[in-house]
Amino acid sequence: MKKHLRFLTLALLAFTANSVFAANEVGSKFSITKANGTKFAVEVLTVCEFEEDGTTVAKNGTVKLYRFTQNEDAPATSISLVSFKVSSGTYDIVEIGDNVFMNQTDITKITRAGALEKIGESAFEGCTNLETFSEGNDCSKLATIGDYAFRGCERLRQLGNAADKVKFATSAGLGENTLSIGKEAFKDCTSIVSLTNNTNISVIGESAFEGCTSLVEIHSQFAKCTDIPASAFAGCPLTEVNVSAAGYATYTAKSSLDFTNAAVKAYKIAVDGENLTLTKMNKVTRGDAVLLYAEGGKVESIPVWGGNWKKHDTGLVAVTEDIEALASEDENGTNYILNNGESGIGFYKANGQKVAAGKAYLNVPATAAKSFMAMNMSEAVTGINNAISEKAADGKMYNLNGQRVSNNYKGVVVVNGKKVLVK
């Protein structure tokens, strides 16, 4: 018995010595077995030496986790990525290699990933029971999420320290770096409801969030992304808006939407004498009635945002149920609906026409009522000058939005390519 114990003690000492020696060299590899029986195999990425008390030297560093082995007899459900303590030093896991946790269906939680900078390809792919990832840490250093990293994690509902949200890295945490999300990184993660802290994301791969059928909220825009693939949010129930080829549509928002970087623009309306002034809105609150514009028409999915739901005065009346016949006059004034008539695209008296739910109509005081209300954008619309120049040489009058107007129109018009003020 004594001989057996002596042999075991020597073996443990040998393992410790080898681990300490390996940890002192960049590129070397060593393994650590946790108390629960799981095993981590890591590669040393950096080593930093410093004096602790003038006589001893501590060694801190970073490692890449390249292999993980479960205890088959009692598989762990919660995996901690806390720093390794080796000899007198501390080694942070800053990278998870490709395929490390792939198809580990016993895992429900990854904890303490605050030092993590990179998640490799397919690192957690197929972890179908993984629900939370570093919910106690903000993942503020995470700069790379590889291709397929969480693909098929159908129960994943939280990444980072925002409850029930996927919260990406912050600019402050990354410094000059930005976050890259690989292709199909979160594909078919059907429990993700909300994304936040997106402003530091610079790359979103093809189909990154495709099939995230519960994703209905995006709390901030992707300000650093120069290109977001059309497939990135395919199959996600983000709010879709539809503007016909005429270029304009009325719309009542069922959710709070962010039009900041959208191709479709949203406008509120104010009565300006005989005309209407349109002012662009970046964020539209649930229940707001707005005018949409997209040159040549467009169908687009607009991100839902999580801001305050204070209703705006947009000058339009929301329609939540079908109106079979909207009267031109009622106790509130004169009602107008958007139409493309003799005077061009604008608001004409309702005259008993139907207004569908999800649309909107204009109501103005009777004292300001005209048969037709033309629209003036308060901000230039991309491409509108070309539209004016193409049509303005025919002797007819057009407003600054390129819409034909009647002889009764007051304001700046374009006739034969020249701007004229009509009083």
Give 216-253 as a DSSP string: -EE-S--TT-S---TTTTTT--PEEEEE-TTSEEEEE-
More confident residue, 314 or 393: 314
Secondary structure class of 329 (helix, strand, coil) = strand
Is the model's pLDDT at 129 over the cut of 50? Answer: yes
Residue 199 phi/psi, 5-degree rounding, is -65, -20
CA dist list (Å): 293 to 16, 23, 259, 296: 68, 61, 11, 9
* Cα separation, 402 vs 194, whole angstroms: 40
Q: Distance between CA atoms of 258 and 321, rounded to whole angstroms? A: 24
d(CA 252, CA 157) in angstroms, rounded, equals 30
- Cβ–Cβ under 8 Å, residues 63 and 94: yes
| Mean pLDDT value of segment 110-118 | 92
Answer whether 110's CB lies under 8 Å from 130's CB.
yes
**Among the ranges given (129-133, 216-220, 250-254, 361-365), the one the predictor scored with the smallest mean pLDDT:** 216-220
Q: Which amino acid is at 127?
A: C
| pLDDT reading at 21 higher than 70 | no
Judge whether 165 and 193 are in contact, CB under 8 Å: yes
Q: How much is the pLDDT for 20?
A: 46
Say how far apart CA 185 and CA 159 lie, in whole Å. 13
**What's the CA gap between 390 and 228, in Å, rounded?**
32
Least confident range of 93-107, 143-157, 184-198, 407-421: 407-421
pTM (2 d.p.): 0.62
pLDDT of residue 145: 96
The answer to whether 409 and 374 have CB atoms below 8 angstroms apart is yes
Cβ 196 vs Cβ 306: under 8 Å: yes
Q: Can you list the alpha helix ranges (DSSP code H) found in 361-415?
A: 384-391
Handedness of CA 400, 406, 409, 412 (dihedral sign): positive
| Count of positions (residues) in the chain | 423
User: Which range has the worst mean pLDDT, 1-10, 95-104, 228-237?
Assistant: 1-10
DSSP 11: H
